[in-house]
Chains A and B, each alone.
Chain A
Amino acid sequence: MLINPVEKDQKRIRELELATGETISDCYQCGKCTAGCPASMDTPPSVIIQYLKLGQFDMAKNAESIWSCMACLTCSERCPKNVSPAAIIEGLKNLHLRDMDPRVSLEAMDRDFLAHSPQMAIISGFRKFI
């Protein structure tokens, strides 16, 4: 990977920090977030944050793994530097969702899921994926 932070990306990263209230440069890459993450991510939380630290905004934003975050908050709880990877991941997801790029389709949704799942799963799912 070519490390070449561009001005445009620096601006987007600052906007992400404002949106989430997080300071990305605080991360010192200890990897505790990744060690505790239950989501089996191909691109784990510490790598997503490292992309951002290196100014590679699109690498972070387009990591498919952000959609596997279940907001269990284990990463945020264990971070020794008080960074919340879960909040940063949600900030990245929101950029897609606000661009009207949802990750589940209402039409294609499993009827059995809607009939049998607790309301909280449906409402949370709508908030996180649509």
Chain B
Amino acid sequence: MSDKPVRIPYYPGCTMKTKALGFERSAMDCAEVIGFEMDELKDWNCCGASYPLTQDNLMGLTAPTNILVEAERRCQKEAIDPNLLTLCVFCYNTLKRTEFAFGQDKKKLETVNAFLDRKYEGSIRVVHYLEYLRDVIGFDNLAKMVKTDMSKFKVAPYYGCLLLKPQKEIGLDDPEDPVILHNFLDALGCKVIDFPAQVDCCGSYLVMREPEKVSKLSYDILADANEYGAETLVTACPLCQSNLDQSQGNKVQFADLDGIPVLYFTQLLAVAFGLDTKTHQLEEHHIDPRPLFEANGSDSESK
């Protein structure tokens, strides 16, 4: 890549600064290798986490719009392409759907702008890290940067819901038969485990009210991946990661599974790049993925 890295405005969101630090740090380390810099917005707020499904109250759009304004100002000031990079799937979904809503209905934008100090012009395009790798970097180029032999890794790509749905608003991939994570893992040289539960819901925020249901749904997904021969799952969503990983603490429900590590896709990318993973918080996972890394011959911490 060119010697001067491309800088892209980046919105982290709350979870990325707390429970998913390993996701952000691994993504930033990998970006450095690939040749771009995730340039965090200086002033940002929570996006609201879930996009309001009803249309009678636009207050839920003020928080994401405030973020889009900040990104728009930054891009205009620096005269760069109006893109905003995201990692967290909930943030991506909320910001992307807000972008779509304003694109469809300028009146909505005017109404929301009336509540904001700074007015949003509607120029920002929200991009997920995975989308950037596919569309701007290219998975074939990514494959050339891989340093570690990943062929022993049997990895199931787990998509969940909000990375893909609703398709007409997000438009990243087919919500029933997606390939983007498959192709990403292919580029890394992993053995990709295609499994039926790849787009099934993990239970999401229901963990607040019905954790036993989340545990059951998580079990079904992990057992399915296990049956198809996966040793680990990758995801882009911190809530999927948390639900699938933490649920395995329920020893009764998970009695017949050995403990399946659930990784952020960037954590595996860092391993493929041969990076030092010490700051990627692998030790924070309920099911520690490090023994799997060692068994597959990529003890990346020693490099």
**A-to-B contact residues, CB < 8 Å:** 18-21, 38-40, 67-68, 70-74, 76-77, 84, 86-87, 90-91, 94, 103-104, 109, 113, 116-125, 127-129
Contacts and interface: CB of A to CB of B under 8 A. Distances in A.
A86 B49 CA distance: 17
Contacts of B53: 20, 71, 84, 86-87, 90-91
Contacts of B165: 72-74, 76-77
**Which of under 10, 10 to 19, 20 to 34, or 35 or more describes the interface residues of B?**
35 or more
Contacts of A84: 53
A101 to B, nearest CB: 14
Given A19-B55, A123-B48, A73 B161 contact: yes
Nearest to B241: A118
B207 A123 contact: no
Interface of B: 13-15, 18-20, 46, 48-50, 52-56, 60, 88, 90-91, 161-162, 165-167, 175-176, 200-201, 203-211, 213, 217, 238-239, 241-242, 246
Nearest to A129: B209
B213 A125 contact: no
Contacts of B14: 119-120, 123
Contacts of A127: 48-50, 52, 60
A70 to B, nearest CB: 4
7 contacts: A19-B55, A73-B166, A117-B19, A118-B242, A119-B15, A120-B49, A124-B49
Nearest to A15: B56
A128 B50 contact: yes
A77 B90 contact: no
A20 B205 contact: no
A123 B206 contact: no
Contact of A72 (B48, B54, B201, B210): B201
A125 B166 contact: no
Contact of B208 (A72, A94, A104): A104
Nearest to B161: A72
B18 A70 contact: no
Contacts of B217: 38
Contacts of B208: 104, 109, 113, 117, 121-122, 124-125, 129
A98 B34 CA distance: 48
A120 B15 contact: yes
A18 B56 contact: yes
Given A118-B19, A120-B49, A125 B54 contact: no
A39 B155 CA distance: 27
B54 A70 contact: no
Contacts of A74: 161, 165, 201
Contacts of A113: 207-208, 211
Given A70-B203, A72-B161, A103-B209, A120 B55 contact: no
B166 A38 contact: no
Contacts of B50: 71, 123-124, 127-128
Q: In this complex, which of A38, A87, A118 has the most chain B Cβ atoms within 10 angstroms of its Cβ?
A: A118
Given A68-B206, A84-B53, A118-B20, 4 more contacts: A73-B165, A87-B53, A113-B211, A118-B241
B205 A128 contact: yes
B213 A40 contact: yes
A39 B213 contact: yes
Contacts of A123: 14, 46, 48-50
A18 to B, nearest CB: 7
Contacts of B207: 113, 117, 121, 125
B200 A38 contact: yes
Contact of A124 (B166, B175, B176, B205): B205
Contacts of A121: 204-205, 207-208, 239, 242
A54 to B, nearest CB: 22
A91 B13 CA distance: 26
Nearest to A73: B165
